[in-house]
């Protein structure tokens, strides 16, 4: 076992139970677990490695991303989808995505993971829901493990194609028997429910307009037969989504989720922009979580999720950058800033969400949504996931009044250090385990191949 001493932080933002912010703070870590937290003078003065931050850095828990589609890094700013709402956007992109390959999945996952790490993320959930050309979730899992991101891999699925009244073309849907069989295989092969786990599995039928009610129910039953396997889908993303639910099921999205057993503290839904008041109350009572994705919701003109109301009703809320074809980026600290600003605009109230509440959404909020009590805060017994931001940068100059709030009020391009499970994955020179220049070259080539495919639907 090895030890790491992080000392002389300008401010250690713990987000622990007391929300302590410790000047000249530090961490003492043994192997992959935080052993001591406090002022530098109170910590051991020796360790196998010492990181002296010289009173220049803010240190905070690693951010937690609760919703993404890594493969979409290959299809950013597609012209036909730049000015579309959700359903038209999807209809434009499905024909591109049907050409994905296992190599495309691997490269897109590594680019997404790298972008997230640069933005302060140390734990991410990804929702991969289409598997053309022999693609598997294994491709993504293996690619992410090479980088070292703590990962919640979601086995997504689509089973209702256009011929059955669904939105996706039949070429990208699977049989429900094959979906459930592969879901069970993946759980038994990869899911690790132990404390400090680096890899957990989620079952994630894509959306009410792309899977059947039977698959929703059977996925829930399968997930709940294994400890710690969670459930995830898209819900109430925009008005068209609500209209589809009312027309097809005769139910609002919240009532539909309840009817198929998709409420509970093992479930979280992405977006929930149009969730009604009764559903919000039900989510709060049952501990059903929400992945708030403000950039994507604005980009697709879906609306503004009522996050302040959700928090007031004790709904677990985390942040998600969503897919890089509807956000066109994967900057999680930037997403926290957008959530902070959107809440104020939606409520027309400058106190609707504070900077520190936005940091909570990005850390302990996301941890709760993913069902984790071992990440999201800096405290003894927590996983050694933390990031450091150098205050000596242009956009943070003049923030001495409240440098903690400045992380949200001011744009921050990247974090400077990232440690995941006690291991350094990013420093001021860049990613430790990856040649980013080579990766981006390969990624651009695959993206160009997709762009050059015939545009048939």
What percentage of the chain exceeds 90 in pLDDT?
Answer: 97
Instruction: Look at the block and give the residue holding tokens 């001493």.
Output: 5
- The answer, yes or no, to whether residue 455 has pLDDT greater than 70, is no
Lowest mean pLDDT among 119-133, 165-179, 275-289, 367-381: 165-179
Pairwise CA distance, residues 131 & 97, whole Å = 9
Q: What is the DSSP string of 361-394?
A: IIIIIHHHHTT-SSSSS-STTSB--EEEEES-SG
Which domains does the chain show, CATH number per domain? Answer: 3-62+374-431 (2.30.40.10), 63-369 (3.20.20.140)
Pairwise CA distance, residues 131 & 133, whole Å = 7
Pairwise CA distance, residues 178 & 159, whole Å = 10
Give residue 298's Cα distance to chain centre. Answer: 17
- Residue 49: beta bridge partners? 4
Instruction: Kindly give, in sequence order, each residue whose CB lies less than 8 Å from that of residue 373, ignoring residues fewer than 6 positions away.
Output: 367
Give residue 126's Cα distance to chain centre. Answer: 7
Q: Report pLDDT for 457.
A: 42
Give the pair of three-digit tokens for residue 347: 């409520």
Maximum Cα–Cα distance across the chain: 68
- The answer, yes or no, to whether residue 342 has pLDDT greater than 90, is yes
Q: What is the DSSP string of 13-63?
A: E--STT--EEETEEEEEETTEEEEEEEGGGS-S--SEEEE-TT-EEEEEPE
Instruction: Look at the block and give the residue holding tokens 């493990």.
Output: 145
244-248 mean pLDDT: 96
Predicted confidence band of residue 302 (pLDDT cuts 50, 70, 90) = very high
Q: Report pLDDT for 456.
A: 47
- The answer, yes or no, to whether residue 154 has pLDDT greater than 80, is yes
Q: How far is CA 39 from CA 21, 45, 110, 400, in A?
A: 10, 12, 36, 19
Pairwise CA distance, residues 375 & 152, whole Å = 13
The structure's pTM equals 0.97
Q: Report pLDDT for 210.
A: 93
377-387 mean pLDDT: 98
- Residue 420: beta bridge partners? 423
Q: Report pLDDT for 1.
A: 75
- The answer, yes or no, to whether residue 400 has pLDDT greater than 50, is yes
Mean pLDDT of the chain: 97
């Amino acid at each position: 076992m090895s030890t790491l001493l992080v000392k002389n932080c300008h401010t250690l933002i713990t987000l622990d139970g007391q929300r302590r912010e410790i000047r000249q703070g530090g961490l003492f870590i043994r192997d992959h677990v935080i052993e001591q937290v406090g002022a530098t003078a109170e910590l051991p003065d020796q360790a196998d490695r010492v990181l002296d931050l010289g009173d220049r850095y803010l240190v905070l828990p690693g951010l937690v991303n609760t919703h993404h589609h890594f493969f979409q890094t290959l299809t950013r700013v597609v012209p036909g989808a730049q000015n579309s709402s959700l359903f038209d956007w999807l209809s434009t992109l499905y024909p591109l995505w049907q050409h994905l390959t296992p190599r495309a999945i691997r490269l897109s996952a590594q680019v997404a993971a790298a972008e997230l790490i640069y933005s302060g993320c140390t734990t991410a959930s990804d929702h991969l829901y289409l598997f053309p050309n022999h693609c598997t979730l294994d491709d993504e899992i293996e690619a992410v493990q090479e980088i070292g991101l703590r990962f919640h891999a979601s086995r997504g699925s689509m089973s209702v194609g256009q011929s059955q009244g669904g939105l996706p073309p039949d070429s990208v849907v699977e049989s429900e028997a094959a979906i459930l069989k592969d879901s069970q295989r993946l759980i038994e092969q990869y899911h690790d429910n132990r404390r400090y786990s680096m890899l957990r599995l989620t079952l994630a039928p894509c959306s009410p307009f792309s899977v059947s009610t039977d698959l929703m129910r059977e996925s829930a039953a399968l997930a709940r037969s294994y400890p710690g396997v969670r459930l995830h889908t898209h819900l109430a993303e925009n008005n068209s989504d609500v209209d589809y639910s009312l027309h097809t099921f005769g139910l609002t999205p919240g009532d539909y989720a309840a009817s198929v057993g998709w409420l509970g503290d093992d479930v979280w839904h992405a977006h929930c922009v149009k969730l009604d008041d009764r559903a919000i109350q039900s989510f709060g009572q049952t501990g059903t979580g929400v992945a708030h994705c403000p950039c994507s919701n604005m980009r697709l003109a879906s609306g503004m999720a009522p996050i302040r109301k959700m928090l007031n009703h004790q709904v677990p809320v985390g942040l998600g950058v969503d897919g890089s074809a509807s956000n066109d980026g994967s900057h999680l600290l930037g997403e926290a800033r957008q959530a902070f600003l959107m809440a104020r605009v939606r409520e027309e109230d400058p106190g609707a969400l504070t900077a520190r509440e936005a940091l909570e959404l990005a850390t302990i909020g996301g941890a709760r949504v993913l069902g984790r009590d071992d990440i999201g805060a800096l405290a003894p017994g927590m996983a050694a996931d933390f990031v450091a931001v150098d205050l000596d940068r242009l956009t943070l100059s003049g923030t001495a009044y409240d440098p903690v709030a400045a992380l949200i009020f001011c744009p921050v391009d990247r974090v400077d250090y990232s440690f995941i499970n006690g291991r350094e994955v990013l420093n001021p020179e860049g990613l430790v385990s990856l040649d980013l220049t080579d990766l981006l070259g390969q990624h651009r080539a695959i993206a160009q191949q997709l762009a050059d495919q015939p545009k048939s639907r």
